[in-house]
Amino acid sequence: MKLLNSFISAVAVVAITASVALPAAAADFKAKTVVLVHGAFADGSSWNKVIPLLKKAGLKVVAVQNPLDTLDNDVAFTDRAIADAEGPVVLVGHSYGGAVITQAGVNPKVHSLVYVAAYAPEVGQSVLDTQKPYPNAPGRPFIVKDDAGYLKFTDEGIFDYFAPDLPRSQRALIAATQGAFGVKAVSTAVTQAAWHTVPSFEVVSTDDKVIPPQLQRDQVKRLKATTVEVAASHVVMLSHPDVVAKLIIEAAK
**Is it the case that residue 18 has pLDDT exceeding 90?**
no
pLDDT confidence tier of residue 23, bands split at 50, 70 and 90: very low
Q: Cα-flanking dihedrals φ and ψ of residue 9, to 5°?
A: -65, -40
CATH architecture of 32-252: 3-Layer(aba) Sandwich (3.40)
Domain ranges within the chain, ordered by starting residue: 32-252
Please report the pLDDT score of residue 28 as a whole number: 84
Nearest partner of 185 among 96, 103, 95, judged by Cα = 96
Residues in the chain: 253
> Each residue of 144-174: pLDDT tens digit?
999 988 999 999 999 999 999 999 999 999 9
> Each residue of 35-69: pLDDT tens digit?
999 999 999 999 999 999 999 999 999 999 999 99
Please report the pLDDT score of residue 26 as a whole number: 54
> Each residue of 92-139: pLDDT tens digit?
999 999 999 999 999 999 999 999 999 999 999 999 999 999 999 999
d(CA 141, CA 155): 12
